[in-house]
Amino acid sequence: MTKQYKTGPIMAAMLVAGFVGLFSETALNIALGDLAKIFDVHTTTIQWLATGYFLTLAILIPVTGILMQKFTTRQMFFTSVILSLVGTVLAAMAPSFALALAGRVVQAAGLAIALPLTQNVIFTIFPPNKRGAAMGIMGLVMLAGPALGPTIAGLILDTLTWNWIFWVMVPFLLFSLIVGIKFLPNVNETRDVKIDVLSVILSTIGFGGVVYGVSSAGELGWTSTTVIVAIVIGLISVFLFCVRQIKMAVPVLNLKTFKYPAFVLGVVMSFITFYNMLSLLVILPMFMQLTLLMAAFATGLVLLPGSLLNCFFAPLIGKMFDKYGPRAVITPGTILVIVGYALYATYDGGTPVWAIVVTHIVWMLGVGMVLASTQTNTLNSLPREYYPDGIALTQTIQQVAGAIGIAVMVSLLAMRQTSLLETGIALPEATASGASLVFIVGLILAVVNFVLSLFMKKPGHVQLKG
């Protein structure tokens, strides 16, 4: 007999906590310049308030797959929200850079649990024919959080102190905690699994090393010994981690998920989508502020219509996925992303603001159509037993993709900027040229996603392989 769940309150508790974590992922970016002066640290040091967040996610998310099998849903959820609360308050009250960074790491630890747990709960409490709509709402949160971060943070910085970027999150986390206490059931089946310490160490060094290396490349350069060593050690550790998982009877992450072609296809598309999405949300504000000379808050307002329209259409997109299947939603979405990048690549210092607003709306709608639908189809392609592993893998790959995307795209922009500045070209024009290069790279990746989307199929009844 199928259990009946109060899906509304359950979704509210989990998605509010997820939104706060994802909002925090980008909200602080707009305040980093001010915080460098307040804490009296160098620009390269203050960047770790952003990089440290991604690094923590990359390290902890791989472990959540087995934690979700070892601990109950309620234990995982309360741990997640309490970590988010403690980290948020610590960061808000931080008198120094070190304590602010510690707060950010604790915050990210909460989100590292919340993201995979939310997806796992959705795939447990909703039947397959309703998962698209539910994941559409989660996709809304995953887009709206990072997209609204700079706008709301810009408004706060114009009217209050930087601490309030964190204080505004506290009531939402308390709401999530109270609703979760009342309505969230234990939906997972726990098992007495042992956590392999060596696997956790290899995972930490592997994913952490790759993210640290590519994140540091923007400051130190891609030829830096530190960057090369970190990436090489990271990749070797990831390889050893994978070999160990294949040989273990009860792995930390079950790599048998990669035996399902639809899962592999979805993982590649998700990587490209997150690489493009999170890097553009960094590059586009830089273009508007340095080329069009727009203020931080005005920049946020320009990005707001695309975010709000995406929020409006997300549930509809999810219902379309449930009714018509993945290709009917994902392929048109990839086309909209291509159109958005093609327009962005032509922009320069004379581009009117309305054109950027319209382009961002088109691009955001496209990303919204691709993001949640791809995730849903990717996990639908797995048997239920593999959901925790599939979710942990996709979430890890998405966060690593975001960190790599930001590092690579910012480096490309900086290299083009520097080479043009050395020839005497002014900063606004040099930034516009660098941004155009980045948008062309994004366009190429978007075309790859379009081609891959043509192979998307709705999974039938999934049987265990091997």
Which pLDDT score, from 0 to 100, does residue 462 have? 47
The answer on pLDDT for 461 being more than 70 is no
Q: Which of 267, 20, 345 is nearest to 166 (CA)?
A: 20
The chain-wide mean pLDDT, for the chain, equals 84
- How far is CA 377 from its chain centroid? 18
Q: Which of 168, 202, 217, 175 is nearest to 44 (CA)?
A: 217
The answer on pLDDT for 44 being more than 70 is no
> Is the pTM above the cut of 0.85?
no
The answer on pLDDT for 48 being more than 70 is yes
Model confidence over 206-254: pLDDT tens digits?
888 888 888 777 677 788 898 899 999 999 999 999 899 888 877 877 7
Which pLDDT score, from 0 to 100, does residue 340 have? 95
Q: Which CATH superfamily is domain 7-179+252-453 in?
A: MFS general substrate transporter like domains (1.20.1250.20)
Which pLDDT score, from 0 to 100, does residue 215 have? 74
Model confidence over 162-176: pLDDT tens digits?
889 899 999 999 999
Model confidence over 313-354: pLDDT tens digits?
777 877 787 788 788 889 999 999 999 999 999 988 888 989
Are the beta carbons of 238 and 212 closer than 8 angstroms?
A: no
Q: Which of 192, 194, 184 is nearest to 73 (CA)?
A: 184
Please give the biggest Cα pair distance in the chain: 73
Are the beta carbons of 202 and 247 closer than 8 angstroms?
A: no
Contacts of 50 (CB under 8 A, 6+ apart): 28, 29, 32
Instruction: Give me the mean pLDDT over the 389-407 stretch.
Output: 81
Considering only residues 337 and 277, tell me which one the structure prediction assigns the higher pLDDT. Answer: 337
Considering only residues 144 and 290, tell me which one the structure prediction assigns the higher pLDDT. Answer: 290
Which pLDDT score, from 0 to 100, does residue 81 have? 95
Determine which of 101-105, 257-261, 410-414 has the lowest per-residue pLDDT on average: 410-414
Q: Which of 16, 91, 25 is nearest to 398 (CA)?
A: 25
Considering only residues 386 and 168, tell me which one the structure prediction assigns the higher pLDDT. Answer: 168
**Local confidence band at 2 (pLDDT 50, 70, 90 cut-offs):** very low
Distance CA 434, CA 429 (A): 9
Are the beta carbons of 168 and 156 closer than 8 angstroms?
A: yes
Highest mean pLDDT of the ranges 75-84, 271-280, 457-466: 75-84
Domain range summary for the chain, segments of one domain joined by +: 7-179+252-453
Model confidence over 52-109: pLDDT tens digits?
887 788 788 778 777 887 888 899 999 999 999 999 999 999 998 899 999 999 999 9
Helix (H, G, I), strand (E, B) or coil at 290: helix
Considering only residues 358 and 26, tell me which one the structure prediction assigns the higher pLDDT. Answer: 358
Highest mean pLDDT of the ranges 138-142, 145-149, 395-399, 447-451: 447-451
